[in-house]
Amino acid sequence: MQTGETSFWRNLYDEFLIGGELRVRRLGFGAMHLSPEDGDVVRRAVDLGVTLIDTAYLYGWGANEELLARTLWPYREELLVTTKVGVAQPGQLDGRPEVLRTQVDAALTRLRMERLDLLQLHRVDPEVPLADQVGTLKDLRDQGKIGHIGLSEVTVEQLVQARGIVEVASVQNRYNLLDPAHEAVLAACEAAGIAFLPWRPILDLVNAPKMKTFEAEFGATRAQIGLAWLLARSPVILPIPGTSKIAHLEENVAAGAIRLTEAQRERLA
């Protein structure tokens, strides 16, 4: 890390223990938008103190995972790179046990890892019993290929069912200031101490004219306001904004220093 660039990481407000043991800074980085030539962006994210990077097989059908390994391996001890499985091709979910096993093995190879410390089911395949999908990931965890298991785009009922089979360390659902549809899932995660990784945390805000009035009032960009609101919304929220531009990355990371007042949070609400 470069001296003077991480002073905004002030205290434990900025940190979370995923699964009770994976310590990360709460403001992470989503690698989805990176092209094979964007290694400098993710390298800069790590230099700025980001310790949670989210990728998936879906992002370039493995190319995104290969980019992270090519750029960041050997990984810093404090860095957590999490990936997702369960999508076979565009628009097609595939949660069959044999497919999940194959995708996990392939992710280990591409990421140059012996174990995926956090592996998330990208989507629940409605054609395969949830118990079979989660049970397969549990088996892979017991084999030592996975450390902790997460889910994505799940309901409270699915989360409860999954937790009856295996410990769930994280949930990745769409959620932001203008789209809080998964409040019930967030509440369930908060009650259980499960990390909640909102995807698309700021894109809706950047394109929302109504947010413009807050920029001058708060002295921050719409994206920064949205990220600060998420960090203040719940201690289990770990935003993972993504970008392919270093300037936008630095803007997003700087949001970690913003502490909204109660009055400001009420104004946004």
Query: Is-catalytic flag, 57?
Result: no
Tell me which residue of 14, 76, 83, 8 sits closest to 46, measured CA to CA: 76
Q: What residues contact 192, with CB distance under 8 A and at least 6 apart?
A: 163, 168
Give whole-number Cα distances, 10 to 14, 175, 221, 257, in Å: 7, 25, 21, 8
Query: Would you state the structure tokens that stand for residue 31, as one six-digit string?
Result: 């690698």
Long-range contacts of 215-224 (CB under 8 A, 24+ apart): 217/267, 218/258, 218/260, 218/264, 220/255, 220/258, 221/251, 223/248, 223/251, 223/252, 223/255, 224/251, 224/252, 224/254, 224/255, 224/258
- Give CA–CA dist 108/65, Å, rounded: 9
- Give CA–CA dist 13/196, Å, rounded: 15
Displacement of CA 17 from its chain's centroid (Å): 14
| Residue 207, Cβ density class (10 Å: 0-12 exposed, 13-18 middle, ≥19 buried) | exposed
Q: Which residue out of 13, 59, 75, 175 is catalytically annotated?
A: 59
Active site residues: 59
